[in-house]
């Protein structure tokens, strides 16, 4: 029998990748092996209403982020004016999405690297208190998305102009109280991840994220900023960086001034740690106590853990905003007009952009999707290459393992990268 393909790919990452270390050139490469689904092509020619439903299917881990970016792009094209209650509810939904994804990554994909177990479910027997923590934190995100979005994977309720339906006030109130009662567990999770010993790595890079007029923002993404002076409106995303096609890879590679750059939790925390909510700020300053930017990409894990706390607090604030708002209408009318639009959200892994051109009849004429993992891939390879040159003393097995841990720390979503 020929070589088996049943154990071919890197475990515990989203999608199919293979790590290739070239000792002659000293270069590391994450080979991407995913079929092209061509989502841009799939939605072209279809009704605008279909785009959020279809593009959510790019990724089972962050479908709500895709649906929201798609909705925002279309609303931008139609010049839809939303009411504050709709925006608040979307912010709570997006917070839930990021908590879901971060807790999946931290507990189920990354944690085994640091606790010397093969998979997280083993912890059920060996460290039941950690397994309970994992399921509790995961549940916080799942419940937010299920209650507000309609389903934990692939949301049903969000639409252009607002929501198709919203939960009753008493259900929202319960969701909010549940969240509050579980904040201590999010802090426990941060403590767990802050105390792991991460491999050493320091390579200065450019961090990108989006902000509104005042601070870093997950939903009100007005401009793209970086630690090297980039500042441009989100609509200009196509000019902020290049998406390079490699002839042998179905993923594209984000590049700025000839180099990789980084998006996601660590980039966001490095760009703005001043506006964390109180408990997240406490975790950052008192529990982790590290200086940011640390330029160690392994710290993306702890940055995600801090974001979980921040976003749980954010969701409570936003649900309170919804509950206190006299306006309980969650859908605004709009007119279908010819136009172009760009929509961005801070997705779990970084800034996600959707761009759309719509005809007078509401047909999609052009569609563009730029995912966070696309933007991170080159930086990931640059980090891995740095590790190869710094750790010539390590056995190839150890080096391979350390780079595999680096890949997992980036939390790449290869199905997003190849969409």
- Which one of 70-78, 82-90, 117-125, 215-223 is the stretch in contact with other proteins (CB under 8 A)? 117-125
> Should residue 211 be labelled a site residue for other proteins when binding is judged by CB under 8 A?
no
How near is the Cβ of 292 to other proteins at its closest, in Å? 30
**Of 20, 22, 84, 121, which lies in the binding site for other proteins, with binding defined by CB under 8 A?**
121
Residues 39-78 that bind other proteins (CB under 8 A): 39-42, 46-47, 53-54, 57-61, 63
> Should residue 142 be labelled a site residue for other proteins when binding is judged by CB under 8 A?
yes
> Should residue 84 be labelled a site residue for other proteins when binding is judged by CB under 8 A?
no
> Should residue 126 be labelled a site residue for other proteins when binding is judged by CB under 8 A?
yes
Cα distance between the two ends of the chain = 33
Distance CA 379, CA 31 (A): 14
Specify the residue, 135 or 227, whose C-beta has the smaller distance to other proteins.
135
Specify the residue, 105 or 223, whose C-beta has the smaller distance to other proteins.
105
**Of 20, 38, 228, 337, which lies in the binding site for other proteins, with binding defined by CB under 8 A?**
38
How near is the Cβ of 232 to other proteins at its closest, in Å? 24
Integer CA distances (angstroms), 390 to 27, 225, 273, 387, 400, in order? 12, 30, 30, 5, 13
Distance CA 257, CA 403 (A): 25
Backbone angles phi, psi at 206, to 5 degrees: -100, 130
Kind of pairing, strands 261-262 and 206-211?
parallel
In this structure, the number of other CB atoms found within 10 A of the CB of residue 174 comes to: 14
Looking up tokens 């007119």 gives 335
> Should residue 104 be labelled a site residue for other proteins when binding is judged by CB under 8 A?
yes
Distance CA 70, CA 335 (A): 17
Which DSSP string corresponds to 18-67? EEEEETTTTEEEEEE------HHHHHTTSBTTHHHHHHHTT-SSSHHHHH
Please check whether residue 309 is in contact with residue 186, taking contact to mean a CB–CB distance below 8 angstroms.
Answer: yes
In this structure, the number of other CB atoms found within 10 A of the CB of residue 410 comes to: 27
**Of 22, 23, 26, 165, which lies in the binding site for other proteins, with binding defined by CB under 8 A?**
165
**Of 78, 131, 218, 353, which lies in the binding site for other proteins, with binding defined by CB under 8 A?**
131
In this structure, the number of other CB atoms found within 10 A of the CB of residue 108 comes to: 16
How near is the Cβ of 258 to other proteins at its closest, in Å? 20
> Should residue 332 be labelled a site residue for other proteins when binding is judged by CB under 8 A?
no
> Should residue 171 be labelled a site residue for other proteins when binding is judged by CB under 8 A?
no
By the criterion CB under 8 A, which residues form the site for other proteins? 4-9, 11-12, 14-16, 33-42, 46-47, 53-54, 57-61, 63, 104, 108-109, 118-122, 124-126, 131, 135, 138-139, 142, 150-154, 156-157, 159, 164-165, 245, 247, 250, 397, 400-401, 404, 415
């Amino acid at each position: 029998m020929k070589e088996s393909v049943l154990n071919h790919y890197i475990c515990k990452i989203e999608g199919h990748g293979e790590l290739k270390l070239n000792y002659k050139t000293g270069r590391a490469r994450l080979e991407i092996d995913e079929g092209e689904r061509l989502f841009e092509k799939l939605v072209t020619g279809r009704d605008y209403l279909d785009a959020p439903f279809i593009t959510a299917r790019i990724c089972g881990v962050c479908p709500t982020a895709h649906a929201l970016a798609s909705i925002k792009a279309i609303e931008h094209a139609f010049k839809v004016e939303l009411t504050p209650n709709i925006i608040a509810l979307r912010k709570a939904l997006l917070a839930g999405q990021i908590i879901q994804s971060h807790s999946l990554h931290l507990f189920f994909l990354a944690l085994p690297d640091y606790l010397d177990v093969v998979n997280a479910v083993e912890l059920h027997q060996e460290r039941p208190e950690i397994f309970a923590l994992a399921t509790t934190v995961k549940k916080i995100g799942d419940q937010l998305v299920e209650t507000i979005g309609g389903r934990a994977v692939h949301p049903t309720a969000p639409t252009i102009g607002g929501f198709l339906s919203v939960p009753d006030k008493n259900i929202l109130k319960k969701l909010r109280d549940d969240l509050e009662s579980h904040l201590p567990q999010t802090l426990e999770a941060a403590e767990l991840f802050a105390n792991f010993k991460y491999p050493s790595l320091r390579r200065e890079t450019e961090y990108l994220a989006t902000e509104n007029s005042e601070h870093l923002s997950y939903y009100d993404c007005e401009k793209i900023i970086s630690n090297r002076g980039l500042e441009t409106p989100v609509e200009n995303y196509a000019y902020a960086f290049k998406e390079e096609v490699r002839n042998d890879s179905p993923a594209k590679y984000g590049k700025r001034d000839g180099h990789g750059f980084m998006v996601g939790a660590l980039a966001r925390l490095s760009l703005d740690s001043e506006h964390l909510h109180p408990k997240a700020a406490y975790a950052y300053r008192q529990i982790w106590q590290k200086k940011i930017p640390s330029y160690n990409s392994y710290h993306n894990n702890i940055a995600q853990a801090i974001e979980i706390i921040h976003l749980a607090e954010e969701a409570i604030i936003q649900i309170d905003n919804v509950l206190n708002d006299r306006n309980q209408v969650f859908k605004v009318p709009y007119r279908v007009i010819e136009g172009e639009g760009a929509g961005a959200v801070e997705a779990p892994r970084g800034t996600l952009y959707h761009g759309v051109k719509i005809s007078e009849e509401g047909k999609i004429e052009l569609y563009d999707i730029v995912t966070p993992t696309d933007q991170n891939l080159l930086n990931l390879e640059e980090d891995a290459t740095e590790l190869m040159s710094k750790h010539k003393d390590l056995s190839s097995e150890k080096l391979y393992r350390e780079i595999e841990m680096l890949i997992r720390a980036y939390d790449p979503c290869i199905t997003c990268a190849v969409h």
